[in-house]
Amino acid sequence: MSDIQWQPGKEYREIIYETYEGIAKITINRPFRRNAFTPRTVMEMYDAFSEARDDAGIGVIILTGANHGGAHEDEAFCSGGDQMVRGNGGYVGEDNIPRLNVLDLQRLIRVVPKPVIAMVNGYAIGGGHVLHILCDLSIAAETAKFGQTGPKVGSFDAGYGAGYLAAMVGQKKAREIWYLCRQYTAQEALEMGMVNKVVPFEQLETETVQWAKEMLQFSPTALRFMKASFNAATDGLAGLQQFAGDATLLYYTSDEAKEGRDAFKEKRKPDFSKFPKFP
Ligand code: S0N
């Protein structure tokens, strides 16, 4: 897809984790099922996103799907939950426990304090469509297709999959997407405002990495606060918690906060008088 020299990272069974010059790439690797996710796929993605979050050398994360190498029109980003392992109370993994653990992953994509780009190489359908919606940015191949299928296949995502989608494309369009279960072209997704850029399939990775590199030149703290700020506007108290946590992190690095800590450890009264009371 490109000549970028990705370095292999932690090994998984159902995904691939790679890095390149401050960028982590997480690839769902189940092309034979259009990159549908099982509980294990989701657990591995959760682990990989945590890995990228904890690595101070990583500034941007890319989420994509593995190509099977056929016609570009047949490739998939992710086709949602794997219907073959869907039990009566969720998706059933090797431990026989039915789970809806993609919800944990959705939260992590939201709160990881680094921009996440969905590199949409093909079908983004069902729970896979929700994953691209949740990423900070989406860059799509011209041949990618987008849509929800819940009402057709007996499932629904009434959380981010509904409310956040509506915040993005508007109430009427979001209802159309869910009520009619149609598929939309990349160009239509661009016009709806749920994709940032559409490029020829062959240029997808180069373009996505270029976007990542541009962001890597900028202040990571500024990007972190902007992400938290956008989330705070849509995520209620959970969004505010993320924003407030980032403010606390910044405060911890100040001499003012250190004075409180040091005074406690030195068993003395803290002296905050020297710190400015800005207007
Ligand atoms: C993606 C589609 C449109 C591609 O069509 P195409 O190119 O004609 O390929 P197919 O021949 O259909 O597929 C090729 C092979 O891949 C298998 N496959 C495709 N998708 C899945 C899938 N989702 N699960 C399992 N297998 C899949 C096909 O069966 C075929 O295999 P073979 O060759 O052996 O016959 C088309 O494939 C399509 O429409 N796929 C289904 C899309 C779908 O309905 N997905 C599920 C939607 N629901 C969810 O994602 C659940 C949401 C969710 O996770 C969630 C949300 C909120 C709260 C909790 C949850 C939760 O459940 O965890």
pLDDT beyond 70 at 23: yes
Give residue 2's pLDDT: 83
Q: Are residues 90 and 211 in the same domain?
A: yes
Q: Are strands 145-147 and 184-185 parallel, antiparallel or unpaired?
A: antiparallel
pLDDT digits (tens, 9 = 90+) for 105-121: 999 999 999 999 999 99
The domain of 164 spans 7-216
126 lines ligand 1 (CB under 6 A): yes
Question: Does residue 61 form part of some domain?
Answer: yes
Annotated binding site for hydrogencarbonate: 148-150
Instruction: Please spell the DSSP secondary structure of 142-166, one letter per residue.
Output: TT-EEE--HHHHT----SHHHHHHH
Question: Does residue 29 form part of some domain?
Answer: yes
Q: Are residues 19 and 136 in the same domain?
A: yes
Angle at 102 between CA 99 and CA 107, to 5 degrees: 130
- Residue 76: both structure tokens together: 């998939």
- Residue 46: both structure tokens together: 């959760």
Select from 14, 29, 32, 34 the residue to mutate for testing ligand 1; criterion: most ligand atoms less than 8 Å from CB: 34
Annotated binding site: 34, 79-83, 91, 123-127, 148-150, 155, 252, 267
Atom number in ligand 1 closest to CA 101:
63
Mean pLDDT of 268-276: 97
Atom 53, ligand 1: residue with shortest CA distance: 127
pLDDT category at 1 given cuts 50, 70, 90 is: low
CA–CA distances in Å: residue 116 to residues 41, 153, 168, 247: 18, 29, 17, 21
pTM value surpassing 0.90: yes
Annotated binding site for substrate: 34, 79-83, 91, 123-127, 149, 155, 252, 267
Structural domain count of the chain = 2
pLDDT digits (tens, 9 = 90+) for 48-82: 999 999 999 999 999 999 999 999 999 999 999 99
181 lines ligand 1 (CB under 6 A): no
Q: Are residues 68 and 147 in the same domain?
A: yes
Q: Which of 181, 198, 216 is the last residue of a domain?
A: 216
pLDDT digits (tens, 9 = 90+) for 184-213: 999 999 999 999 999 999 999 999 999 999
pLDDT digits (tens, 9 = 90+) for 157-188: 999 999 999 999 999 999 999 999 999 999 99
Atom number in ligand 1 closest to CA 82:
24
Q: Residue 170 sits in a domain of what CATH number?
A: 3.90.226.10
107 lines ligand 1 (CB under 6 A): no
- For 32, list phi and psi in degrees, rounded to 5: -65, -20
